[in-house]
């Protein structure tokens, strides 16, 4: 897809998303909001997997930790303060990512994949086995965070439309932030690390610090997604940190095409869309999901966003270069 078509496409999608609550039902608005939140989650992982070349298989940990922080900060009969709860949960996710990053970034390749998974499992069991977060039942958030600043409320997250646009704004903010980060010298170093870490080292970059910064940022942004997810659905469970969740978000990134923020978004749309379609067909929907994944790996290298180019190349008779 050339850049003009791509820009027009993105703008059209954006217009559709912005106008959606005006004509779509609340049920579907909630689904779009869910997709947008998962898109944030997928983009945060893409920073690691697609741009820095770090395949984390434990990204759900940061998502879940942030979700638990907002749930724990919400008193039983009162809402939490949004302007405290949001930074606190994102900060908690960032700190967790920083500390875990100190350990896991010492390893490489397959070790990295497995060690990130193991640390995420550790976090999972903290919430699953100990009474910190209500054990395996999780916690309900009886109230959505209150946006009031000294008595004045710019918006109210209990209003479905307000919540919807809050999610849209967050998604755009994360997208914009990541675009900026990737264009910055810092982002260029990350891409350099993905292509050849040894070369970056010999050029004098302390790659460990760059990777740790990327890992922390990705954890924080996953925290944004976890915060929004907990607020949207009103409860948290240890499943938010489970390795299935880490697998799903990895799936979104790869399905959409790595190293491409639009791809991460497309992956989130595709995954939620497929889940909706398959669950409406059969209760054994995971079978269809599994078959789709296997087929996607075998026949669609490069992911969704690379597929139009591959098909065009096939039509033109040339060989695809992706």
By CB under 8 A, residue 212 contacts another protein: no
By CB under 8 A, residue 119 contacts another protein: yes
Report residue 260 as tokens: 């491409």
Check if the beta carbon of residue 34 is closer than 8 Å to that of residue 276.
Answer: no
Q: Which of residues 238-297 bind another protein (CB under 8 A)?
A: 243, 247, 250-251, 254, 258, 284, 286-287, 289-294, 296-297
Report residue 57 as tokens: 């298989």
| Shortest spacing between CB 188 and another protein, in angstroms | 22
Check if the beta carbon of residue 89 is closer than 8 Å to that of residue 223.
Answer: yes
By CB under 8 A, residue 310 contacts another protein: no
Phi and psi, residue 301, nearest 5°: -60, 140
Q: Which of residues 124-153 bind another protein (CB under 8 A)?
A: 124-126, 128-131
The residue among 128 and 211 lying less far from another protein, judged by its C-beta, is 128
The residue among 100 and 163 lying less far from another protein, judged by its C-beta, is 100
The residue among 153 and 287 lying less far from another protein, judged by its C-beta, is 287
| Shortest spacing between CB 247 and another protein, in angstroms | 5
Phi and psi, residue 317, nearest 5°: 85, -10
Residue from 36, 38, 94, 117 touching another protein (CB under 8 A): that is 117
| Shortest spacing between CB 66 and another protein, in angstroms | 20
Phi and psi, residue 147, nearest 5°: -90, 5
Nearest to 67 by CA among 267, 232, 252: 232
Query: What region does 109 belong to: left with phi over 0, alpha with psi -120 to 50, or beta?
Result: left
| Shortest spacing between CB 159 and another protein, in angstroms | 37
The residue among 158 and 282 lying less far from another protein, judged by its C-beta, is 282
Rounded-to-integer distance, Cα 119 and Cα 33, Å: 29
Check if the beta carbon of residue 270 is closer than 8 Å to that of residue 252.
Answer: yes
Place of tokens 């893409």: 46
Q: What's the distance, CA 254 to chain centroid?
A: 12
Q: Which of residues 27-46 bind another protein (CB under 8 A)?
A: none
Cα 222–224–230 angle (5° rounding)?
100
| Shortest spacing between CB 68 and another protein, in angstroms | 16
By CB under 8 A, residue 196 contacts another protein: no
Residue from 14, 91, 95, 118 touching another protein (CB under 8 A): that is 118
How many chain residues touch another protein (CB under 8 A)?
A: 43
By CB under 8 A, residue 110 contacts another protein: yes
- β-pairing, 235-236 vs 139-140, is antiparallel
Report residue 46 as tokens: 């893409």
Cα 92–98–100 angle (5° rounding)?
100
| Shortest spacing between CB 101 and another protein, in angstroms | 13
Residues that bind another protein (CB under 8 A): 49, 55, 57, 103, 106-107, 109-111, 113-115, 117-119, 121-122, 124-126, 128-131, 243, 247, 250-251, 254, 258, 284, 286-287, 289-294, 296-298, 301
């Amino acid at each position: 897809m050339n850049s003009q078509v791509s820009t027009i496409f993105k703008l059209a999608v954006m217009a559709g998303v912005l106008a959606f609550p005006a004509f779509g039902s609340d049920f579907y608005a909630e689904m779009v909001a869910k997709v947008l939140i998962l898109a944030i989650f997928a983009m945060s992982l893409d920073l690691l997997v697609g741009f820095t070349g770090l395949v984390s298989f434990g990204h759900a940990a940061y998502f879940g930790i942030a979700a638990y922080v907002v749930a724990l900060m919400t008193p039983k009969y009162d809402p939490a303060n949004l302007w405290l709860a949001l930074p606190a949960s994102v900060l908690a996710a960032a700190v967790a990512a920083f500390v875990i990053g100190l350990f896991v970034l010492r390893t490489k390749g397959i070790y990295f994949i497995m060690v990130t998974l193991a640390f995420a499992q550790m976090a999972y069991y903290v919430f699953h086995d100990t009474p910190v977060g209500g054990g395996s039942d999780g916690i309900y958030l009886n109230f959505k965070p209150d946006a009031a600043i000294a008595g004045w409320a710019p918006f109210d997250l209990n209003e479905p439309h307000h919540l919807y646009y809050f999610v849209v704004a967050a998604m755009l903010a994360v997208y914009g932030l990541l675009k900026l980060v990737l264009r910055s010298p810092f982002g260029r170093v990350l891409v350099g690390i993905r292509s050849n870490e040894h070369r970056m080292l010999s050029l004098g970059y302390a790659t460990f610090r760059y990777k740790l910064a990327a890992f922390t940022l990705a954890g924080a942004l996953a925290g944004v997604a976890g915060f929004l997810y907990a607020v949207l659905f009103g409860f948290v469970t240890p499943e938010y940190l489970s390795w299935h969740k880490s697998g799903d978000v990895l799936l979104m990134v790869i399905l959409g095409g790595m190293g491409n923020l639009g791809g991460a978004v497309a992956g989130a749309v595709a995954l939620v869309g497929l889940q909706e379609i398959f669950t409406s067909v059969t209760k054994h929907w995971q079978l269809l999901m599994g078959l789709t994944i296997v087929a996607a790996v075998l026949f669609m290298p490069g992911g969704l966003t690379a597929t139009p180019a591959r098909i065009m190349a096939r039509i033109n008779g040339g060989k695809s270069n992706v």
